[in-house]
Amino acid sequence: MTSSGRIPEKYRRILSYGAAGLLILIVTLYLVLPVIALFFRTTPELFLASLSDPLVISALWLSLTTSIISLAIVILVGTPFAYVHSRSTYPGKVIVDTLIDLPLVLPPAVAGFALLVLYGRMGLLGQYFNMMGISIAFTTLAVIMAQIFVASPFYLRQAKSLFEQFDQSYEHTARTLGASKLRTFLSITIPLTASGLVSGAVMTFGRALGEFGATIMFAGNLPGVTQTMPLAVYVGMESNFNLGLTISILLVIISFVIMITVRLVTRNEVHHA
C-alpha cells in the first residue's frame, strides 16, 4: 500500500491498463492459438483435395444427419417436457431437476459406458431388445442416443429457465380470449421464447456434433455407420494426418458458425419475463 502510494497516478494507470491488457491477451491467445495452428498446417489445395475423401464425406454426412435427428428429438420431446416441468409442482421435482443436469457433469466416456450397460447386447434392457432381434449398441441409432444423452441438457436447461421466467399474463390473456392451451402454447409461449429456445437448440446441435467419448464407447467407430467427424479426426490423426486436419478445420468452421448464430439470435432476444 505504501509502495503504490509513491507511484504517480499516471504510471499507476498505465501499469493497471497494461496488466489488464496482458491478461486478456494471454487468455485469448491460449484459447485461440491451437485453433489457428490447424489452419497453418494445411494449404487451401490440400484442404480442398481432402474434402472429397470418402472418409471425410461419410463422417461429415453421418455427423450432420445424426446431429439433426438428435436435435429434432430433443426439441420435440424436450420442449413439452420443459414446459410441463416448469409449470407444475410434483413430488421429487428437485430430484428430476438435478438428474436432467447429470449428463453435463458426467464424463462422456462414463455416459457411453452407462448406455452400453443398459442397452448393450447383454445390458439390462438390451438383452430384451436383443431377444426381439433389435440391437442398439454399435449402430447409428446408438450414435443418436449418445448424442441425445450428452447434449439434451443444454436445451432442457435453457427451455426450463425460459418457461419459468415467462410472464404468464400473456398466456392468461390468450386463454381468456378463447385460445385453447395448445393454441396458447404454440402461438404465444413458443414465439415469445423462440430466440432463447433457438440459442439452446444451437448449443445442443454443437454439442451433439462434437460428441466423442460416449459415441466411441456405446456406438464404436465403424466408418459410414458410427464414425462421426470427431471419431474420424481420431482415426485421421493415427493414419492420415491431412484427413484429420481437414475434418478438424471443418468442425472449427461449423463451431464458429454455431457461435455466431447464437450471438446473433441472443442479441435480438426480447425478454418477456
> Contact positions toward other proteins, by CB under 8 A?
167, 169-170, 172-180, 183, 187-188, 191-192, 270, 272
Least separation in angstroms between CB 1 and other proteins: 49
H/E run at residue 179: none
Residue at grid coordinates 460428441: 211
Least separation in angstroms between CB 76 and other proteins: 22
Least separation in angstroms between CB 90 and other proteins: 19
Spatial CB neighbours of 258, under 8 Å, sequence gap ≥ 6: 202, 203, 205, 206
> Closer to other proteins at the Cβ: 146 or 192?
192
Least separation in angstroms between CB 65 and other proteins: 32
> Closer to other proteins at the Cβ: 115 or 197?
197
Question: What whole-number distance in Å separates Cα of residue 99 and Cα of residue 89?
Answer: 16
Burial class, 67, CB count within 10 angstroms (exposed 0-12 / middle 13-18 / buried 19+): buried
User: Are the C-beta atoms of 138 and 144 separated by less than 8 Å?
Assistant: no
> Closer to other proteins at the Cβ: 152 or 199?
199
> Closer to other proteins at the Cβ: 79 or 189?
189
> Closer to other proteins at the Cβ: 106 or 272?
272
Question: What whole-number distance in Å separates Cα of residue 36 and Cα of residue 256?
Answer: 12
Least separation in angstroms between CB 86 and other proteins: 17
> Closer to other proteins at the Cβ: 42 or 195?
195
Among 200, 249, 191, 211, smallest CA distance to 41 is for 249
Q: Which residues of 234-244 are buried (b: 16+ CB within 10 A; e: fewer)?
A: bbbeeebebbb
> Closer to other proteins at the Cβ: 93 or 183?
183
Cell numbers given for 1: 500500500
Question: What whole-number distance in Å separates Cα of residue 270 and Cα of residue 273?
Answer: 9
Least separation in angstroms between CB 172 and other proteins: 6
Longest dimension (CA), the chain: 82
Least separation in angstroms between CB 268 and other proteins: 12
